[in-house]
Structure formats: structure tokens, C-alpha cells
Amino acid sequence: MTNGIEPFYEILGSKIQEVREGKKMTQSQLGLSLTPPSTRASIANIENGKQRVLVHTLMQFARTMGVSVQSLLPPAEEDSRPASPRDVELELKRKLKLPPPQLKKLVGAARQSNSTSKKRA
């Protein structure tokens, strides 16, 4: 969240990326589905929270990926709530670009460490 753009756009970008990857789409394919078309670099900037998204573009993303606009939006309270283990996992995946087995191992170790510290409290 050090890039100067509101946390909302980082969360939105992560959700767009998650859905796009789930649909087995490339950033280029998603960009070309927009009117006017957008570049792969622009989609990457949106997914990384470095670029804001216009409402009509958000609607096109949702339509292209076959999801509701609401499913791409972060809940209003998400800006102030602590990160869930799933949020942490998604952020690690996005930032570190680890292979799935290595990511799973890292997340498992973090969860184990978290449950151990909760037992002490």
C-alpha cells in the first residue's frame, strides 16, 4: 500500500486478477475484451493496485469474466479489518509469484505459527 493509491484499488485489483486467473484468461485477452481495448501493461497496473478503474471499465471486466460487479468489489469494512489467512495467501501469491507447492508450504508454516501463538495467549 505504498504506491500512493487507495487500498481499495489494491484489493479490487487482486480480486480482478484472481477471477481472471480462475477463468484461465491472460491479461492481454482481458484488455482486448474492453471497449476501447486496453494494453496488457494497463491490466497489470490495475491488478497491482497502481491504476484506478473507471466504473464503465469495471462493468466490462465483470461482463467479460462472467461475474457480478459486486463480486469484484471489496466489502466496505475490508479497509479496516485485519487480513484473513486467505487475504495473506492471495497477497503472497501476487507479490512473490511463488509456485503453488512453495506457496502452500509457506502459508502452512504461517498458519501453524499463528495457531501456536494463539494457544500461548
Domains and CATH numbers, the chain: 7-77 (1.10.260.40), 82-120 (no CATH)
Helix (H, G, I), strand (E, B) or coil at 39: coil
Query: What is the percentage of the chain residues whose pLDDT exceeds 90?
Result: 54
pLDDT of residue 1: 40
Distances (CA, A) of 68 to 20, 27, 64, 89, 116: 13, 19, 10, 23, 39
pTM over 0.75: no
pLDDT of residue 100: 79
CB 6 within 8 A of CB 13: no
Alpha helices in 1-121 (DSSP H): 7-22, 27-32, 40-47, 55-65, 69-72, 85-96, 100-120
pLDDT of residue 4: 53
| pLDDT tens digit at each of 121 positions of the chain | 445 568 899 999 999 999 999 999 999 999 999 999 999 999 999 999 999 999 999 999 999 999 999 999 988 764 456 667 777 777 777 778 778 788 888 877 777 776 665 566 5
